Amino acid sequence: MNRFKEKLYKTFFLGNAFIVVLILAGIFILLIKNSLPAFSKISVGEFLLGPVWNPGGYDESSFGILPIIISTLMVTIGAMLFSVPLGILTAAYIAEVASPREKEIIKPVIEVLAGIPSVVVGFFGIVVLGPWIAQIFNLSNGLNAINGSILLGIMSLPTIISLAEDAITAVPDDYRQASLALGAGKWTTLVRVVIPAALSGITAAVMLGMGRAIGETMTVLMATGNAPAMPKSFLGSVRTMTATVAIELGEVPFNTTHFYVLFAVGLVLFIMTFLVNLASDIILQRYQEVE
Amino acid sequence: MTSRGRELAGFTLLRIAALFVLLILVIILGDIIIKGMGAISWGFLTTVPTNGMTEGGILPAIIGTFFVTLITAVLAVPLGIFAAIYLNEYAVKTKMTRLIRLSIRNLAGVPSIVFGLFGVALFVRLFGFGTSLLAAGMTLGLLTLPVIITASEEALKTVPNSYRDGSLALGATKWQAIKTNVLPSAIPGILTGVILGLARAAGETAPILFTGVAFYLPFLPDSVYSQFMALPYHLYIMATQHHAIEQVRPLAYGTALVLIILVFSMNLIAVILRSYFRRKAVR
C-alpha cells in the first residue's frame, strides 16, 4: 500500500514537471495552427521577403515582414553594441577588481536594474532619452531606432553582466597564477588569459541577452516611433516584430488574414528566440562538460 | 605606454564601466522618483480616474494588478513548486529529465508578446474565458512558471542530504522525508523565489494586452471573467495613447512611481526574508 502511494506521489510530481514540456509544445502548436490559414492567401516567400507591411491597405493589403524583421535586427544589434562592451567590462570589474564592499553595492544595483518593468523603461525613453537624442542629433523627436537600441541595451545588461561574471569567476585560479608567475601583469593576465578562458560562458551570456532584446516588446513599442516602413537609419523611426503584434492584434477582428499573419509573426519571433536560446544553451552545456 | 600605465588605464576603464551602469540606474530612478512624488497623494491612490482620465486616481489599476497577480500565483505557485520537487527529489538523469529542463530554460526565453498570443489562442478563445482577469492571470502564470521552478529548485538544493537520509533511516518513506524534513527548511527560499517571480509578473504588460486588460474601467472587477485595469498598462496608455499627453504627464509619472514602488517593495520583502532565514540557518 505504501509502495503504491509512494509511486503515486512520484507520478504526481512528474506530471507537474511535464506540464512545462506541454506548455512549450502547446505554444508552438497553437502558433502554427493560427498561422497556417494566412498562407492560403499569401505565399511564405511574400510573407518573409515582402518589402511592404501594409495590412490595412485600402486597395490591396500587403503582408511583407521584411521591414519589421530588419527593424528588429537593427535594434537588437544596436542594443548589443551598447551592452556587450559595457556588460563585459562591468562583469570583469565585479569578478576581478571590486572589493567585497564594492560588490555589495554593485550587485544589488544590477538586481534592481533587472527588476524595472519594461513599460517603465519605455516611459523613460519617451520622457528623458528621447528629448536628449532629439537635442544631440537635432531631430524633431527622439523616438527612433537609437533610442530603442539604448533602452534594450540597458534591459539586457543585467543578464549579460551576471552570466559573464559567473563565467569569469569560474576560471580556475591556477590560470591566473601561472600567468602572473610567467611575469605577465594583472591587466595582461585578465585580457590575455582570463577573458579568453571564459569566452564560451561570455558568448552564452551575450546570446541570452540578445534573446531578451529580440523578444522585448513594451520598450521598443514606446520608444522607437513605430513607422512600419523599411528602416533607413538609426536616427529614423522603426517598428519591430514585437511592436507590430502589440499594436495590431488589439485592432483586428478574429479569423481574418491579418489576424493569422500576426500569429505568423509571433511564430517567426518564437523560432528566432528559440534558436538563439538553444545556441546559448549548447555553448553553456559544452563549457560545463569541459570543466 | 609602460605596462604599469596600461594596467592603470585598463582597470580605470573597468571601474568607469561599473560606475556608468550605476549612473544609468540613478538617472532612471531619480527622474521617476523626483517627478512622480508630486503626483502621488492619498486621493491619487484611492480614487478612480475622472474627466477622461485627465484627473483622479489609479485605484482600479492598483486593484486590477493585485487580482491578476493573485490569479497568477494560484496557477504558477503550486505547479512550480511541485515541478521543482520532482526535479530535485525524484528525477534521475534520463532523457525525460533533460527534456523537462530544456523546456524550462526555453520557456524562460519565450518573448512576453508570444505568451500574449498564446493566451489569446488558448485561454481567450479555446477555453472560452474571453478577455478577462482569468485569461490574463493564467497567461502571466505560464510566463512566471520557469522563474518559480528554478528558484524553488535552488531552495531545495540547499537542504543538506543528511536531512533526507536521517528521515529515511528512521523508516520514513521518501514522500514523508520530503514533507517533514525537506520542505520545511526549503520553504523560506521557495517563498523568496515566488515573490520575485510574482513581482516580475505584476510589472508585465505585453502578455495582458489582449487577454483582459482594459483602457478605462471606472469600477472594480466583480468576477474572474471581468476585464480589469492594470498599473503597467495604465502607464502605457497615459504615456502614449492619451489624447492630452502633455497634460497628463504628471499622472503618468505618478503611475510609474507607484508601479516601481510596488515591484521593488515585493523584491525588498523577498530579500529581507532571504537574509533573515539565512541568518537563522547559520545559528
Nearest to B122 among A26, A217, A242 (CB): A26
The pLDDT tens digits for B25-41 are 999 999 999 999 989 99
Residue of A nearest to B202 (CA): A117
pLDDT at B281: 63
Which of A221-235, B127-141, B231-245 reaches the highest mean pLDDT?
B127-141
pLDDT grade for A35, boundaries at 50, 70 and 90: very high
Give CA–CA dist B100/A25, Å, rounded.
Answer: 11
Q: Average pLDDT for residues B125-146, to the nearest whole number?
A: 94
Per the listing, cell 482600479 goes with B60
pLDDT at A6: 87
The pLDDT tens digits for A125-170 are 999 999 999 999 999 888 999 999 999 999 999 999 999 999 999 9
pLDDT at A1: 62
Q: Which of B114, B139, B149 to mutate to test the interface with A (most CBs of A within 10 A)?
A: B114
Domains of chain A with CATH codes: 41-290 (1.10.3720.10)
pLDDT at B277 > cutoff 60: yes
pLDDT at A291 > cutoff 60: no
Q: Which of A10, A22, A23, A284 to mutate to test the interface with B (most CBs of B within 10 A)?
A: A23
Q: Average pLDDT for residues B245-253, to the nearest whole number?
A: 89
pLDDT grade for A282, boundaries at 50, 70 and 90: confident
pLDDT at B172: 87
Contacts of B125 in chain A (CB under 8 A): 254
Shortest Cα distance, chain A CAs vs residue B90, angstroms: 7
- Residue A160, CB-side half-sphere exposure with 13 Å CA sphere: 29
Contacts of A105 in chain B (CB under 8 A): 22
CB–CB contacts below 8 A, A to B: 263
pLDDT grade for A173, boundaries at 50, 70 and 90: very high
Helix (H/G/I), strand (E/B), else coil: B209: coil
Percentage of chain B with pLDDT > 90? 61
Percentage of chain A with pLDDT > 70? 97
CA distances B2 to A93, A259, B5, B15, Å, are: 22, 64, 5, 20
The pLDDT tens digits for A208-255 are 999 999 999 999 999 999 888 888 888 999 999 999 999 999 888 888
Shortest Cα distance, chain A CAs vs residue B78, angstroms: 9
pLDDT at A59: 64
Q: Average pLDDT for residues A56-76, to the nearest whole number?
A: 86
Domain residue extents for chain B: 42-282
Give CA–CA dist A90/A98, Å, rounded.
Answer: 10
pLDDT at A178 > cutoff 80: yes
* Candidate from A2-6, A19-23, B128-132, B167-171 with smallest mean pLDDT: A2-6
pLDDT at A290: 55
Q: Average pLDDT for residues A262-272, to the nearest whole number?
A: 95
Decide if B256 and A126 are in contact by the 8 Å CB cutoff: no
Nearest to A124 among B31, B103, B145 (CB): B31
> The C-alpha cell of A31 is what?
502558433
pLDDT at A289: 58
Shortest Cα distance, chain B CAs vs residue A123, angstroms: 7
The pLDDT tens digits for B26-85 are 999 999 999 999 899 998 898 888 877 778 889 999 999 999 999 999 999 999 999 999
Domain B42-282 indexed as CATH 3.30.70.600: no
Mean pLDDT (chain B) is 90
pLDDT grade for B94, boundaries at 50, 70 and 90: confident
pLDDT at A186 > cutoff 80: yes
The pLDDT tens digits for A195-207 are 999 999 999 999 9
Q: What is the 3-state secondary structure (H, E, C) of chain A?
A: CHHHHHHHHHHHHHHHHHHHHHHHHHHHHHHHHHHHHHHHCCCHHHHHHCCCEECCCCCCCEECCHHHHHHHHHHHHHHHHHHHHHHHHHHHHHHHHCCHHHHHHHHHHHHHHHHCCHHHHHHHHHHHHHHHHHHHHCCCCCCCHHHHHHHHHHHHHHHHHHHHHHHHHCCCHHHHHHHHHCCCCHHHHHHHHHHHHCHHHHHHHHHHHHHHHHHCCHHHHHHCECCCCCCCCCCCCECCHHHHHHHHCCCCCCCCHHHHHHHHHHHHHHHHHHHHHHHHHHHHHHHHHHC
- Residue B212 near residue B144, CB atoms below 8 Å: no
